[in-house]
């Protein structure tokens, strides 16, 4: 078991560009979560999938953000028309049923 | 409401015990967690406790839960320099789909 993996680890982009991040959960984990963490803060919940169904979205997830988990395995998080306020660490976590969430290393986004 | 609070900084000498405190507000929380984050890394699950337990011990870690006061603590015995990190307290309320609410994190500095 290699744990939760995320790619890329770092992304620098210019304001207005679109970016996409990928998360590969621990195999057989049916639940996948996205969180955002800004400097000096704890992670904040963004959205959650059970298999391929997106079951909850935070109000933090504006219409510029979209997440998918097409086959119930890996997930992508896309941010359109990035803004400087989107600069943060984006963390993915997975769990089996209602079990504990295990986190990936995160993708650090810097919007110039 | 859902809110988790922690003191932001703690400094201890190597070999001493560290105690990190946390308060939470959601009495329906079923699980309470401690995660560790080293610089530039994702979150590592340290330990968790069910809400019907008072104490859990795991090697150098002791978790105490006072459900009446909604107070959680993490004690690290014989603190080492490798324990320097940010420690996040988190709760999982019963009110939504396994969303975990994190505190702001306590930055632990271990002085050699």
| CA B14 remoteness from chain centre | 19
Give residue-wise pLDDT tens across range A69-104: 998 899 999 999 999 999 999 999 999 876 788 999
Smallest Cβ distance to A31: which of B35, B40, B98?
A: B98
Decide if A33 and B98 are in contact by the 8 Å CB cutoff.
Answer: yes
Residues of B whose CB is below 8 A from A102: 45
CB-defined contacts A:B, below 8 A: 57
Give residue-wise pLDDT tens across range B20-65: 999 998 877 778 999 999 987 889 999 999 888 899 999 999 999 9
Report the C-alpha gap between B107 and B112 in whole angstroms: 16
Smallest Cβ distance to A48: which of B97, B102, B103?
A: B97
Would strands B9-13 and A107-111 be described as parallel, antiparallel, or unpaired? unpaired
Residue B1 has pLDDT above 60, yes or no: no
Residue A51 has pLDDT above 70, yes or no: yes
Report the C-alpha gap between B20 and B67 in whole angstroms: 16
CB neighbours of B82 closer than 8 A, spacing ≥ 6?
none
Report the C-alpha gap between A32 and A72 in whole angstroms: 9
Distance from CA of A28 to the nearest CA of B (A): 17
Smallest Cβ distance to B102: which of A43, A95, A102?
A: A43
């Amino acid at each position: 078991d290699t744990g939760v993996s995320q790619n890329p680890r770092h992304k620098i982009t210019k304001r207005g560009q679109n970016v996409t991040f990928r998360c590969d959960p621990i195999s057989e984990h049916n639940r996948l979560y996205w969180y955002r963490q800004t400097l000096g803060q704890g992670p904040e919940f963004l959205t959650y999938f059970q298999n391929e169904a997106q079951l909850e979205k935070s109000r933090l997830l504006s219409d510029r953000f979209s997440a998918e988990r097409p086959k119930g395995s890996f997930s992508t998080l896309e941010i359109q028309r990035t803004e400087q306020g989107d600069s943060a660490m984006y963390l993915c976590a997975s769990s089996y049923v209602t079990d504990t969430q295990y986190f990936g290393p995160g993708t650090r986004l810097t919007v110039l | 409401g859902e809110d988790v609070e922690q003191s932001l900084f703690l400094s201890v000498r190597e070999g001493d015990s560290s105690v990190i405190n946390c308060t939470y507000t959601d009495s329906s929380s079923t699980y309470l967690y401690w995660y560790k984050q080293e610089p530039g890394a994702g979150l590592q699950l340290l330990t968790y406790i069910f809400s019907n337990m008072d104490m859990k011990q795991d090697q150098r870690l002791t978790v105490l839960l006072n459900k009446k006061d909604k107070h959680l603590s993490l004690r690290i015995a014989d603190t080492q320099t490798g324990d320097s990190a940010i420690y996040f307290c988190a709760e999982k309320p019963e009110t939504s789909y396994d969303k975990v609410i994190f505190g702001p994190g306590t930055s632990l500095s271990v002085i050699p």
